[in-house]
Copies of this chain bind each other. A is one copy, B any other.
Amino acid sequence: MSRDIRISHVRITPVAFRDGPLLNAAGIHEPWALRAILEVETSDGRIGLAETYGDAPMLAVLEQARPHVVGLSPFALNLMEERLKAAIRPVPGAVEYTLAPGSHAAKNAAKAISAFEVAMLDLQGQAVGAPVVDLLGGAVRSEVAYSAYLFFKYAEHHGRPYEPDAWGEGISPQQVVAQARRMIALYGFQSIKLKGGVFEPRHEIACIRALSEAFRGMPLRLDPNANWSVATSKRAAEELDDLLEYYEDPCPGLDGMAELARHTRLPLATNMVVTTMEEFRRNVEKKAVKVILSDHHYWGGLRATRQLARMCALWELGMSMHSNSHLGISLVAMTHVAAAIPNLSYACDTHYPWQDEDIVRGGRIAFKDGAVAVPTRPGLGVELDRQALAKLHDQYLACGIRNRDDRRQMQKYDPSFTGATPRY
């Protein structure tokens, strides 16, 4: 491998793919989810891939980053980080949701660093003939477990932009159990997460109870996305105590979670109040959250995720992974880094079962017994299906969505919906 290889070109392709009418605290998923596909090309003709957020402000951030990355060696990760930390400026127009840390403009530099780091690691791996996990110290496991990520959902989108998905409505406990059965039959997952914060806590607890009865011994999680007050979260904790492996972001804010932590023996998990290294620092001072749900897309990359994992080990915190609607490149990147983390203590979240499209060659990534095999091919181990990429880019151009906005979408169903939290 020549040390003279340089990044010569960066191609950013926004894509849109079908997404289910999935309910959450902020509203409901729009019919099209956005991502950006990064192609980082080198002077010797290799292409490194990454996948990140595809909203308009993020595309502008990636454009800001582009000139600072062109000309670098794919090995110059530290220099890339320093340059982007210095160069990335706020971009107007971001629609920020507390439940989606990837939407926060304050994380722009970390998000851009992550995207370019993944693509550069893909290039490094291709150049040296090693999978990305080897560049992170090597795999400590040969497969990475994911959980069945259940959502309350409607049977179809407002306005029926395309044929309804095969999952049907998911509102009653029976429907939620049926959703879990279907997802586990298809993917083999061995733990279950329910995205809550949508209906009355009483209803959501009943759904957890139904899941517990239907899937004896299966680890369960509930994520009300900070849509419950501290008082509601405390009351619910008494009922959830024996049912959950962890209790994810029931109430808002680090102080609220710290208060709740003093009143429950359930470990509290978060992807909302510990989303940066600085918040990690405050959390260990306040002793609030016990399980950190990492996400390389906004934590600053795969190396930052490994850094976070070592800090979790040091402060005796559990660790797993958060997800947003995503495609196969993100899934393999998550799998590489998860394989390099000895103290990954829970199955990772993924929205992947909710998508039925992809832009990787060979079609959608396979799961076996709820897990993804750690790729052993050089780099990330995936290539682009250019026809699929063109199709999803056309969908992006046609769909008209430029910022994810779950609240606005919910108002199509219910004009009185405000999205104000905590709702319960």
Contact = CB atoms under 8 A, between A and B. Distances in A.
A417 B35 CA distance: 71
Contacts of A79: 138-140
Interface in A294-324: 303, 307, 310-311, 314-315
A310 B304 CA distance: 9
Contact-residue bracket for chain A? 35 or more
Contact of A138 (B2, B73, B281): B73
Q: Which of A75, A129, A311 has the most CB of B within 10 A?
A: A75
Interface string A71-89: 0010111110110000000
Interface string A59-76: 000000000000001011
A164 interface: no
Interface in A122-158: 127-130, 134-140
Interface in A280-300: 280-281
Contact of A137 (B78, B310, B314, B342): B78
A1 B340 CA distance: 21
B75 A138 contact: yes
A315 B285 CA distance: 12
A137 B376 CA distance: 21
A397 interface: no
A376 B3 CA distance: 9
Contacts of A214: none
Contacts of A278: 314
Given A78-B340, A314-B281, A303 B137 contact: yes
A277 interface: yes
Contacts of A1: 128-130
Given A129-B3, A376-B3, A78 B311 contact: no
A283 to B, nearest CB: 12
